[in-house]
Every structure is written in C-alpha cells, then in structure tokens.
Structure 1
Amino acid sequence: MKRLLSLLTVALFVAVLVALGGCGSGATTPVSTTSKEGQAKQINFFQWTEYTPQSVLDSFKAKYGITVKMSNFSSNEEMMAKLQAGGLSEYDVVVPSNYVVKAMIALNLIEPLNKDSIPNLKNIYGAFLNRSYDPGNKYCVPYMSSPVVLAVNTKKVKEPINSYNDLLNPALRNQIVVVDDERPIIGAALLATGHSLNSTKASALKDAENWLKRLRPNIKVFDSDSPKTELINGECSVGLIYNGEAALAIRQNPDIKIVWPKEGIAGLTIDNLCVVKGTKHEKEANLFINYLLDPEASKAISDVYPYTNPNKAAHSLLSKTYLDNPASNIPLDKIKNSELIGDLGSALRQYDRIWTEFKG
C-alpha cells in the first residue's frame, strides 16, 4: 500500500517544510481546550490515506466526547519530516511502518507507551508482537499489515506457480502487474536468488538485477494505485500487489487465488500506532489507541479496508468475506516466518539505480 522511500529524503522534506514555515496540506492547529473534567476535546491523528474509516473516529467521539482530527501522509518519510519540522506540537498519535520506527526512536519523535492505559494490547496476535524493530513493544502497537502478495488467475494460468522463479516463464510474457514500489519487487528478486530481501551485498544485488532483467518482458503494468484493476479486467493474469488490493480483486473474481512462494513474502511491513513525543494529550492518545484495538472498532476498520488485521479478538467478529479471503486473512505462520522490509540507509541508492534501470 505504501511506497517505501529512503530515510535520506527526510532532510530534503525537512528543509522544504521549514522554508514554508511548517505549512502545507494536512497541517493542524494545536488544541489545548479541555472539558470541565480536564479531558481534551480534540486530539490530532496523523495517518496514511484510506487506512482508518471516519465512522470509527465518529464512534470514538460518541463514546468519549473527544473529536479525532485526522490528517494524512503518503510516505513514512513525509510523516517524519513533518514531525521534525514542527509537527511534534501538532499531532498526538501517528502510524509509522516498522522500518522507520528505530529511526523515530533515535530522533526522539515518539515516546514510550503507557501500557497500563492500553489493556487491549492483549488482543494482538503474538506473531505481530516483539518484532526486532521494537522489542517488547515499548513504543508501538501493531495496527495493520499491508504486505505485497502473489495473486494468480488460475483460470488463465495453467502451469503451477510455487516460486518467484516461476514468474520467469516465457508463457507469462506481458501478463504480470506489479506495484510501482522498488523494495518488494527487488525483494522478490533477492529471495528468488537465495538472498535476504534486505541484502546490501554487491553480489546479491547483482544477482537480483540480472533476475529482474529476465522478468522484465513478462511485466505489462507498474501500478501502485489500483493494481487490482488489471487482474479484474483480465488485462493481466498474475500480480505482485498489495494484499488489500488482492483481496478486493478476489471478491470480484474468485478465479484469482493467492500463492505463497516457497521463498516467503517479499514485501512484509507492519504499521503501528505510536504516541507523538511531547504530546499534551497523552491520556487521550492512549485512550484512542486502546479504542482502535477494541474488537468492534478493529472489525469496523477491516470491513472498509481489508488489509491484514493483527487483532485476534476481532477475528471472531470479522465477516466471512474477510475470513475466507486469503489475501486479507494471511496465515499467521506466513507473517511470523517472513522477513520484514527494513531500512537500508545509504545502500538504498543502489536499489534506486537498479529500479530506475529495470523500469527503463
């Protein structure tokens, strides 16, 4: 769902935002007004687009009398830059992906959670907890996951696909849609050639580059906005696409199936709820996070946006449409045993070069 950029771009974002005086789309006004009971009347939520339904924010207000004003960002780096350019005083809760959490901790952009105020943390599946980017979940609560999965129209593709290497089959020429997102696609190439999807070794990247050259004739479309469309209309028969998009494609065409390559998931990320450093509304921020982990609220989120839901308590409430859709309801062993996309630092320049040359 999310285009993964380099943390090196943060400095550029910060410079631009500072030059503009911290203004721009999505800017919010700090809120300090409180009710007679001393509770804030509004908190500010910095979130990805199309990831939290307004109905859930409205139900939180109905229950607690607190308005949640949501502003959106389109990349982790945009979000971080905004926080560094004065946004710490504008937001209370933010949703970073796993690969930037360590950087955000080091930059003092998020603060440790008050877990006593988040009892619904117990609702999260263990496969999503205690991951390497935040041991013990000191700073983060898993919100959703949006991995890139392999979707195949089994009516059109007769030969079995069990590996990323099967995508090199000449019979698939001009038949594949992939997300316009370098990390999961180069990640698939690295996994296919026996390497870590986060490898920075020159020999591994050379192997991946050569593999991608062999794959290129089979790719018809690069599309991150609506890759499901090419699968639904039959323009493509195979897709390496975000799981929420694949889930929607399967709803439209049951001939589309999810395949789990033996090498593992190439684009696994976990998006997290975090409290912004220095918030004046810590109590309300924790209350909101806890509410989003409530089974009914979590179900309402997945009803609208069918990404992978880590909330075990919500699963008994989720619709049969969601639970029976393997693109949404990804088996926990696939999550637990797959490598997460990580930050590459300066090595991402090599990925950028490979991607640019690959796309032509």
Structure 2
Amino acid sequence: MLSRFSVFGVLAAGALVIASTASAQSDRLVLLNWSQYIDPALIEAFEDEHDVEVVENFFNSNGELFSMLQAGGVRQYDVIVPSNYFVPRLIEAGLVQPLDHDRIPNLNNLMEEFRDPGYDPNSEFSAAYQWGTTGLVYDRAALGEQPASWSVLFDESVNPDAPFALPEDGQVTLGVACAWLGHGYDCTDRDELEEAARLVLEAKDRRNFAGFIQGTPVLQQLVRGSVSAAITYNGDYLFFKTDDPEGYADIEFVIPEEGAEFWVDTMMIPAEAPNAALAHTFINYILDAQVGAQLSNWTYYSSPNEAALPMLDEVLQNPPVTPTDEEMEVLEFTPSLLGEDLRFMQQLWREVESR
C-alpha cells in the first residue's frame, strides 16, 4: 500500500514550494508520487513525446499525502498516487475529481478486477498503478527457519530475544494483529480492533521491541542486524535482495497463513488540478502495455495491466512478486474506513502510540 523507497524522499514542505512554482505553467505536469516509484526513463519519454516538463514531488505516507492536499496541494498537483484504502477518503473529502474515461482509452488494458474495484466502483476516480503485498520479513540467521506466521512478532515464546519492529501505519499494524488473533486482516469490528490494540501494546512492552518502523527503512535495519523481524512490502524486499544478494542471503519474506495485506496504488487527479487535461494524458500513457511493463520491471511490483503481462520479466511472474494461489486466498485489502469508524480507529491508534 505504501511505496517503497520513501526513505529517499524529500521534505513535503519543500515539495509544496516546488509545486506552487510549477503548477501555473500549462506545459508542466506536477506528479506527487512515492519516491523511487517510476523509471526515470518513462518520465523522459513522456516529456519528449508531449513536449512538456514533469515535475516530481514526493510523499512518505498516505496520511501525509492527504494533509498536503488539504494544505493547498489540491490546486498544485496534477496526478497523485494514493493507496486503495485512501481512495474513498479522498473522494469523500472532495479532494479529487472524476476521471474522464474517454480521455483514457488504455483503461481497457487493466485486468477486470482492477477496472471495477470495490474501493472505487467502475474506476470512477482512480486508475490502478501497481499492486503488491505486505508480509513478514525476518532474518533466518538470527531466528532460524520460521513458519509462515505472525507468531515471530506476537508470540514471545517463539521470539523471546531477537529485536522486532512494527509499521507506523496504524491500520496495517492493527490489521496484522487482527489476523494473528484469528479475526482476519480486514477486521473492522470495534471489539476485535480493541483486542488487536491490546496485543500491539503487549508487543510494544516487550524488551526486544525495536520500535515502529516503516517497511522500507526496516529492510536496511535487517541487513545491519539491528532488527531481526518486521513487516515490509514484497517489491521492496526483492529490490534490496537483488541489489545486495549477499547481504540479504538470510533475509526471508513470507505471507503469513493467518492473513496479510493485498494493496493497490492508484493514480488520481486532484479536484482543482491546474493541468487536468495533461493529467489524463499521463494516466493513459502509464496504462499503455509497453509502458506498464517497463514500470513494473523497474519497480519490482506487480502490474495491474493485463496487456503488459507478456512483457514482464520472469522474476515478476513468481513469488514473492506474484503470490501463489494459496497465498492469494489469505490476502485482503485494508478496509476503507470512513466517518465514525475511521475516527474510532485513529483514536485507538493514537492511544497505542502514546502509551
């Protein structure tokens, strides 16, 4: 759900300044994306094809993206890349505009399940960009061979000493705790969420709890040995392992049998985007079959683009990038909470963080 490589991002405040300068020019597209989440060659090709400049700004979490739009970014950015469970929040808040499907014929390249997703029926406001999974990552040298289970994080008898971390994203962490408790990753029942919060507090109180660390930077801590188990994203894991096979030789990624997250990052257009026409052109460009394949081959994430599948590198067609049928059965979207349900979850997580 999040991208990946956010540790290399820039400060949001600086990004807003850049966007403010760029947005007044009709020959510029201002893209607000997760850092290191698009092949620079694709940006250059789009600029050359349409004789425009693409200005890239970055955010580090969906919450930060939401705040940036509320702070004026809704009038400064042309394309944004939120995760699926934030799509309904952005729509409800009036921060995004419907897509003009006539301007995006390549929407038809998307697999059927991505053309009409539950978080945005008929892709009225969003177009799928990349998809992936969030799973358990651990150091086999420190913990030995572990089963595909969240037990290494929540069962002290399984891991009494090795340092472990949990993500800063409250909804993901509570979802994982719900899965371990047998309620399913996508639990929304308040009693179940409160039970999950108590479990996270118990984990937080253990002496080998290393802190709340997001999925990308924790991979670097795993290879340094300061963390032995954590939660991360399948594409980031493969990216780092491919880049440093020796350093990550004992680092394993698994989808726990109790359940885990299946996420989709999407492309949307802010409600008052200064260049909505060019934004539609850019989204259509990303959904081209060859472009979609090049994008995934660079990011190490799965493509929702059915037309791109024959051109994907072989490594992307196998685990951990493409889950097995058995793994797909236990994967769930992070629920798209709104209204009182969202406020309840946010308050619950604030209490977890503050204790």
Match of 2:23 among 30, 37, 60: 30
- What residue is the counterpart of 1:189 in the other structure? 177
- What residue is the counterpart of 2:10 in the other structure? none
Shift of 1:160: 4.1
CA 198–25 in structure 1, closer or farther in 2 if over 3 Å, else same: farther
Distance 1:170 1:127 in 2: 41
TM-score between the two structures when normalised by the length of structure 2: 0.79
Query: Are 1:179 and 1:242, in contact at CA under 8 Å, matched by a contact in 2?
Result: no
Q: Describe the superposition over 1:270-317 as per-residue Cα deviations: whole angstroms up to 9, x where unpaired.
A: 221112324454332221101111233223333432233322333322
Shift of 1:143: 0.8
Query: Are 1:228 and 1:246, in contact at CA under 8 Å, matched by a contact in 2?
Result: yes
The one-letter code matched in structure 2 to 1:353 is E
Q: Are 2:65 and 1:79 equivalent residues in the alignment?
A: yes
- What residue is the counterpart of 1:309 in the other structure? 303
Query: Are 2:197 and 2:348, in contact at CA under 8 Å, matched by a contact in 1?
Result: no
Query: Are 1:176 and 1:238, in contact at CA under 8 Å, matched by a contact in 2?
Result: yes
CA RMSD of aligned residues (A): 3.1
Q: Are 2:236 and 1:245 equivalent residues in the alignment?
A: yes
Query: Are 1:232 and 1:249, in contact at CA under 8 Å, matched by a contact in 2?
Result: no
Distance 1:276 1:332 in 2: 36
- What residue is the counterpart of 2:8 in the other structure? none
- What residue is the counterpart of 2:7 in the other structure? none
The one-letter code matched in structure 1 to 2:109 is N
Shift of 1:244: 2.9
Counting only pairs closer than 5 Å after superposition, residues 41-52 of structure 1 correspond to structure 2 as: 41-52=27-38
- What residue is the counterpart of 1:328 in the other structure? 321
Match of 1:288 among 282, 291, 304: 282
- For 2:268, what is the secondary structure of its paired residue? strand
Q: Are 2:214 and 1:228 equivalent residues in the alignment?
A: no
Query: Are 2:262 and 2:333, in contact at CA under 8 Å, matched by a contact in 1?
Result: yes
The one-letter code matched in structure 1 to 2:342 is G
Query: Are 1:178 and 1:227, in contact at CA under 8 Å, matched by a contact in 2?
Result: no
Distance 2:67 2:168 in 1: 23
- What residue is the counterpart of 1:163 in the other structure? 149
Q: Are 2:343 and 1:346 equivalent residues in the alignment?
A: yes
Shift of 1:233: 4.1
Q: Are 2:130 and 1:105 equivalent residues in the alignment?
A: no
- For 2:22, what is the secondary structure of its paired residue? coil
Query: Are 1:178 and 1:240, in contact at CA under 8 Å, matched by a contact in 2?
Result: yes
Query: Are 2:131 and 2:262, in contact at CA under 8 Å, matched by a contact in 1?
Result: yes
Distance 1:90 1:214 in 2: 43
Counting only pairs closer than 5 Å after superposition, residues 113-132 of structure 1 correspond to structure 2 as: 113-132=99-118
Shift of 1:134: 0.5
Structure 1 gap segments, 5+ residues each: 4-16, 34-40
- For 2:178, what is the secondary structure of its paired residue? helix
Query: Are 1:269 and 1:341, in contact at CA under 8 Å, matched by a contact in 2?
Result: no
Q: Describe the superposition over 1:101-124 as per-residue Cα deviations: whole angstroms up to 9, x where unpaired.
A: 223223332222222322222332
Shift of 1:90: 2.3
Shift of 1:190: 1.1
The one-letter code matched in structure 2 to 1:294 is D
Shift of 1:96: 2.0
Distance 2:325 2:283 in 1: 23
- For 1:316, what is the secondary structure of its paired residue? helix
The one-letter code matched in structure 2 to 1:189 is A
Structure 2 gap segments, 5+ residues each: 4-12
CA 202–118 in structure 1, closer or farther in 2 if over 3 Å, else same: closer
The one-letter code matched in structure 2 to 1:102 is P
The one-letter code matched in structure 2 to 1:283 is A
The one-letter code matched in structure 2 to 1:345 is L
The one-letter code matched in structure 2 to 1:327 is P
- What residue is the counterpart of 1:148 in the other structure? 134
Distance 2:238 2:54 in 1: 28
